[in-house]
Amino acid sequence: MPTFVYMTRCDGCGHCVDICPSDIMHIDTTYRRAYNIEPNMCWECYSCVKACPHHAIDVRGYADFAPLGHSVRVIRDEEKGVIAWRIKSRNGETDLNLLAPITTKPWGKEIPQLRNASAPSQDMRDSQLLYNEPKYIRMDEGGLHTLESNGLEMKAGVYY
């Protein structure tokens, strides 16, 4: 179910070209509109659909057995932190509006710059703990699990 572009809505801005993981959304050099150069390598991941500021990209069924007439449309809003979907089946029996959060925090502000975090001590470097452990692991009963702490022993071979 590859993507296709509504030529009247596309202004050739190239957001879809920028994001497509398959690198198959290109700008037509004559018409200056985006198009899917290789529909059979489209993962239908909707990355371009979500990125398009003009909602000019849609996804169709396979030409050999799914006629047009359905729609699965999406609006992703980073500021509000939600994604809204509308699914309409071809016969009109399924018509769903679905809303889901994409983040619980203000977009783009919550992830710290680790370069500015305090440097790890030698003790930390010698331990098995990763960044933010043990704080984040929150095992409630002590530190990182080891074979010893869990009453296990190393045994050779595959079967035991």
Partner 1 sequence: MAKTIVEDNIDILVAGAGLGGTGAAWEARFWGKDKKIVIAEKANIDRSGAVAQGLYAINCYMGTRFGENNPEDHVRYARIDLMGMVREDLLFDMARHVDSAVHQFEEWGMPIMRNPKTGAYLREGRWQIMIHGESYKPLVAEAAKKSADKVYNRICVTHLLMDDAKENRVAGAVGFNVRTGDYHVFKSKAVIVGAGGASNIFKPRSVGEGAGRVWYAPWSSGSAYGLMIEAGAKMTQMENRIVLARFKDGYGPVGAYFLHLKTYTQNCNGEEYESKWFPELQKMVGKEYLDPELSHATHRPIPTCLRNHALINEVNAGRGPIHMVTMEAFQDPHLEEIGWHNFLGMTVGQAVLWAATDVNPKYENPELTTSEPYVMGSHATGCGAWCSGPEDISPDE
Q: What is the DSSP letter of 13?
A: -
Under rule CB under 8 A, residue 34 binds partner 1: no
Kindly tell me which residue out of 27, 37, 45, 75 binds partner 1, with binding defined by CB under 8 A.
Answer: 45
- Judged by CB under 8 A, which stretch of 6-14, 27-35, 91-99 contacts partner 1? 91-99
Site for partner 1 in 95-134 (CB under 8 A): 96, 98, 100-108, 110-115, 117, 119-120, 125, 128, 130-134
Under rule CB under 8 A, residue 80 binds partner 1: no
Under rule CB under 8 A, residue 21 binds partner 1: yes
**Parallel, antiparallel or unpaired: strands 25-27 and 57-59:** unpaired
Q: Residue 60: CB partners within 8 Å, gap ≥ 6?
A: 1, 2, 3, 4, 66, 68
Residues in contact with partner 1, counted by CB under 8 A, come to a total of 87
Cα separation, 91 vs 67, in Å, equals 11
43 part of the active site:
yes
Q: Which is nearer to partner 1, 5 or 20 (CB)?
A: 20
* Structure tokens that stand for 136 in this block: 């984040």
Q: Which is nearer to partner 1, 30 or 159 (CB)?
A: 159
Q: Residue 61: CB partners within 8 Å, gap ≥ 6?
A: 1, 67, 68, 70
Catalytic residues, by residue number, are: 43
